[in-house]
Chains A and B, each alone.
Chain A
Amino acid sequence: MPKRDGARPGADAGLAGFGRYAGPATLILSSLADGPKHGYALTKDVEEFAGVRLAPGTLYEALARLESQGMIEALEAEDRRRPYRLTAAGATALQAHLDAQRRVTETGLRRLKANWGTV
């Protein structure tokens, strides 16, 4: 279980302010929820569980925003590769975001089943 510390006081608890980076940020936080990872390991993990390949520029833009919001923190570099770790603020934000996504998913699936019988 990763240590939950390093949360910046007053950090944004949500991903709403991330705009077009909300998608990559969610994928990154979901990946880091499993433990610290460096950039390349992150993209491979995301590709595996989401089928999405994060491009290098996009990945580091999202990492910089997450770090500035205190949702992740950088650890000591290992052989020029720097791992990132989820913070308590990041876990809270991810939980809130995924809960909202789940409500949307459940509502959509329920309505599809009721009206289209596709589920």
Chain B
Amino acid sequence: MRLLRWYPKAWRNRYGEEFAEFLIADIEERPQSAERTLDVARAGLLARLAVAGLAEPHVAWQPDPGRRVQVSLGMLCGALTACLALAAAMWSQLAIAREWTLPAPATPPTTRAMLVMSAAVLAFLVLIVLAVAPVGYAIARNRNIRLLGPLLVLAAAVSLLAFGGHHFLYQWPGSGGHGEDGTLFPVVPAGIQAFAWSLTYWFSVHWFWLSAGLGGWEVAWITASPLALAAAAAAAATLVRRADLSPRLLAYETRLGAAACAVMGVFLGGCGYWVYVGRPPGLAHAGQIDIAAAILLALALAAAYQAQRTALRGLHLVRG
């Protein structure tokens, strides 16, 4: 029965047979019903969101509440990683563009936006450290064989990103480092700008790739780095889902998740100011790709916020 395919497997395992019987009886009575199809599709998609940790932590067909919170936190981890990748791409572009335009006449909107975005990225990195440390400790204590696979994937992806990011640090036209002679005035050290940019070439130099052509290693890096980033995010989310984490730690991580969403909201505000209000001429001008990135960032942030809220509601269930 095709209508059942709207629902995830966990739901079908619990309700599949009786729901099929229900539908057979309903279809006999009303052979054609667009309302029924739409209602089943809506409910099925909502059930899939629940499986992904984005909705409904309190339904009977899902496993225990603690695991549901971890599923939501895993989704939160993945969504925030996407936010960070997009934020790093936009931030590093603006930082380097701004540096290249200095000491030209000041562009206050760009500087203000840059300061807000830089503060938000810094705060976000602090939150990452605060979030990762206790989870890493818990995982080390777990000694669970099911964690080995995602741990290896995470280590490989992070190593690739670190190695590649460092390798391409100053090997790109326009990348950071030119401020090291002291003639320019970077908001943050040029090496950090360059590293963030080299990690996000896949996003920021698409136009260069298309118009000028790149060497084999550059193309390989542009192809591999987003895949490595996605693999790292997926592995981290899997670790969060599978590890045995105490209710207290889950509550702590959920609170940090709320703070991370707020910080990323501040970043988005600074970014919006840059894109829609500042509109500075020259290198720091926000283009269509930046607008697209801001929209994607807003969507990822919305998913992160929804996952955080779902985790919070799940926590209330865990605490009874």
Residues of A at the B interface (CB closer than 8 Å) are 10, 38-40, 43, 55-61, 64-65, 67-69, 77, 79-82
User: A81 contacts which chain B residues (CB < 8 A)?
Assistant: 18, 21-22
Give A73 to B301 CA distance when docked, in angstroms: 38
The secondary structure that dominates the B interface is helix
Asked if B44 and A57 make an inter-chain contact with CB atoms under 8 angstroms apart, the answer reads yes
Asked if A56 and B18 make an inter-chain contact with CB atoms under 8 angstroms apart, the answer reads no
Q: 11 A-B pairs, CB-CB below 8 angstroms?
A: A38-B22, A55-B39, A56-B39, A57-B39, A58-B39, A60-B22, A65-B58, A65-B59, A68-B59, A69-B58, A79-B21
The contact string, 1 if C-beta is below 8 Å from chain A, for chain B 4-29, is 00000000000101111111011000
Asked if A57 and B40 make an inter-chain contact with CB atoms under 8 angstroms apart, the answer reads yes
Interface residues on chain B, number (Cβ under 8 Å):
24
| A56-B36, A57-B44, A60-B15 as given contacts; A39 in contact with B22, CB under 8 Å | yes
Question: Which 5 pairs across A and B sit closest by C-beta, in order of nearness?
Answer: A57-B43, A55-B39, A67-B60, A68-B60, A57-B39
Give A80 to B24 CA distance when docked, in angstroms: 12
**Which residue in chain A gives the minimum CB-CB distance to B44?**
A57
User: B23 contacts which chain A residues (CB < 8 A)?
Assistant: 56
Q: What is the minimal beta-carbon distance from B68 to any residue of chain A, in angstroms? A: 11
Known: A58-B43, A64-B15. 18 other contacts (CB 8 A): A38-B22, A39-B19, A39-B22, A40-B22, A40-B26, A55-B35, A56-B22, A56-B23, A56-B26, A56-B43, A57-B42, A60-B15, A61-B43, A65-B59, A67-B60, A69-B58, A77-B17, A80-B17
| A40-B26, A57-B40 as given contacts; A64 in contact with B59, CB under 8 Å | yes
| A40-B25, A68-B59 as given contacts; A60 in contact with B35, CB under 8 Å | no
User: B40 contacts which chain A residues (CB < 8 A)?
Assistant: 55-57
User: A10 contacts which chain B residues (CB < 8 A)?
Assistant: 320
User: A38 contacts which chain B residues (CB < 8 A)?
Assistant: 18, 21-22
Find residues 34-67 in chain B having any chain A CB closer than 8 Å to their own CB: 35-36, 39-44, 46, 58-61
User: A58 contacts which chain B residues (CB < 8 A)?
Assistant: 39, 43
Asked if A64 and B61 make an inter-chain contact with CB atoms under 8 angstroms apart, the answer reads yes
> Could you say which of A55, A57, A64, A82 contacts B60, with CB atoms under 8 Å apart?
A64
> Could you say which of B43, B46, B58, B320 contacts A68, with CB atoms under 8 Å apart?
B58
**Which residue in chain B gives the minimum CB-CB distance to A55?**
B39
Give A65 to B19 CA distance when docked, in angstroms: 16
Asked if B46 and A82 make an inter-chain contact with CB atoms under 8 angstroms apart, the answer reads no
User: A60 contacts which chain B residues (CB < 8 A)?
Assistant: 15, 19, 22, 43
Q: What is the minimal beta-carbon distance from A85 to any residue of chain B, in angstroms? A: 14
Give A67 to B11 CA distance when docked, in angstroms: 14
Give A58 to B19 CA distance when docked, in angstroms: 12
Asked if B58 and A56 make an inter-chain contact with CB atoms under 8 angstroms apart, the answer reads no
**Which residue in chain A gives the minimum CB-CB distance to B30?**
A53
**Which residue in chain A gives the minimum CB-CB distance to B42?**
A57
Q: What is the minimal beta-carbon distance from A4 to any residue of chain B, in angstroms? A: 19
**Which residue in chain B gives the minimum CB-CB distance to A39?**
B22
User: A40 contacts which chain B residues (CB < 8 A)?
Assistant: 21-22, 25-26
User: B41 contacts which chain A residues (CB < 8 A)?
Assistant: 57
Give A65 to B20 CA distance when docked, in angstroms: 19
Give A60 to B3 CA distance when docked, in angstroms: 14
> Could you say which of B19, B46, B60 contacts A56, with CB atoms under 8 Å apart?
B19
User: B22 contacts which chain A residues (CB < 8 A)?
Assistant: 38-40, 43, 56, 59-60, 81
Give A58 to B40 CA distance when docked, in angstroms: 8
**Which residue in chain A gives the minimum CB-CB distance to B317?**
A68
Give A59 to B25 CA distance when docked, in angstroms: 14
